[in-house]
Amino acid sequence: MEKSTRERLIRSDIWVRALYMVLFAIAFGLTRVIIVFVVIFQFLSVLFTGRANEPLLQFGKNLCVFIFEILEFQTFNTEQRPFPFSPWPDEEPGGEEWIDGAFFDTDIEDEIAEEEAVAKVVEVVVEEKVEEEAETDEATEDSADTKESDDKKDGAATKKSAAKKDSAGTKKK
């Protein structure tokens, strides 16, 4: 083995970093579980109250930053070790539209307006269809009346024709 490789293998700082990487990998796994609970609780909060839980919103934001710091350390993008070796992240949460419930109210108003517009369109289409069917029924009745009239005329003509044939047949005898 080369001397430089052997020196790297016995350096204590790389092994200490490996130990921290294992510990932060465990912390990363725990934070994923915590994030799932935050997501579920926040969803239920918005569902039932129409707004996000502000303290949980801030905690979720800080937990995301903590996860980002872990991943940066794990991928050798920084030597700064995450919490508890540095301060807990203290970021301002986003999601302002969820805090005051404006997002939820706007969605309901938009949905109501959309449903009313759809109802009007459906009403117009149904009215047009009813009028069209009424016109078709009238045309069918007129056609039936005309056909009856034609049948009567044809029937009368057939009777006259038959009568003529009978009279012609009797004259020949």
Burial of 70 by CB count in 10 Å (0-12 exposed, 13-18 middle, 19+ buried)? Answer: buried
pLDDT in the model for residue 86: 86
Which pLDDT score is estimated for 63? Answer: 95
Q: How far apart are CA 56 and CA 75, in angstroms?
A: 28
Q: Residue 146: its pLDDT value, please?
A: 63
- Which regions of the chain are under pLDDT 70? 101-109, 142-173
Q: What is the pLDDT of residue 165?
A: 61
* Pairwise CA distance, residues 13 & 173, whole Å: 137
